[in-house]
Homo-oligomer: A and B are copies of this chain.
Amino acid sequence: MNSKRTQAGTDQAVAAFSRRRISDSTIRRLSVYYRALGALEVEGYHTVSSRDLADREKLTPAQVRKDLSAFGSFGTRGLGYPASELRARIGKILGIDREWNVGLVGVGHLGSALVSYKEFQKQGFTIRALFDNDQRKIGSNHKGVIIADVKDLAAEIKKRKLSMIIIAVPASVAQPVCDMAVQAGIKAMLNFAPVSLKVPSDVVVRTENMAMELEFLSFQLSNRAAKERGSA
């Protein structure tokens, strides 16, 4: 009844943060909406409905509305959401309305590939520092960035004001690298080593384990095969 939150506000988003508990899945889907809105804009949509977004991403319209309503009232009843404005709003919520300085540790096959990964730059994530422990690599110029010695990780994090690091080192050295970064004040890491890193509770880590994703597929294939055989 008390419609304290009903009036649309210009900048409720930030306020909403502190009011509600936002689930990880909601944040993940916000990224999805952000991309979908970009594509829909290109296709000429001026306003989009929760159904437009849902159909595109195999979600339900209610899910889309619930997710968005956690941050404010961005739509117009009877009409839908203004595509480009909503996209900008979500960008702001995700914090990608600015540049982020990122460091990458481990310039091996995967690390090198990530340096060239266009999507990062496009979203405002700039890899400003590279680190390795291989003397042959240290000092060399990789895509315009000099590879530094991982021993100088802490110093460089401060000097270059890095706020996130990407860990692309072998599993055996991932934890030590992580510890160094935590010591230097890093609060967010994207980890590609197949280990779960131990960090203090104020540090966020996302571990991307590609072998695990194939295992997931393997399970699904095996499972479906079993079903077809009609196991007793």
Q: A130-138, A145-153, A222-230: which one contacts chain B?
A: A222-230
With a cutoff of 8 Å between Cβ atoms, the chain B residues found around residue A217 in the complex are: 164, 188-190, 204, 206
Query: Out of B17, B119, B204, B211, which one reaches A122, CB within 8 Å?
Result: B211
User: Measured between alpha carbons, how far is A226 from B39 in the docked complex, in Å?
Assistant: 30
Q: Does A81 contact B (CB under 8 A)?
A: no
User: Measured between alpha carbons, how far is A210 from B119 in the docked complex, in Å?
Assistant: 8
Is the beta-carbon distance between A231 and B15 smaller than 8 angstroms? yes
Count of A residues near B, CB < 8 Å? 68
Q: Does A112 contact B (CB under 8 A)?
A: yes
Interface centre among A28, A217, A220, A231 (most CB of B within 10 A): A217
B-facing residues in A21-79 (Cβ within 8 Å):
22, 24, 27-28, 30-32, 34-35, 39, 56-58
Q: Which residue from chain B places its CB closest to the CB of A35 in the assembled complex?
A: B194
Nearest 9 interchain pairs by C-beta = A95-B222, A113-B113, A119-B211, A188-B217, A109-B113, A95-B218, A31-B212, A204-B220, A109-B116
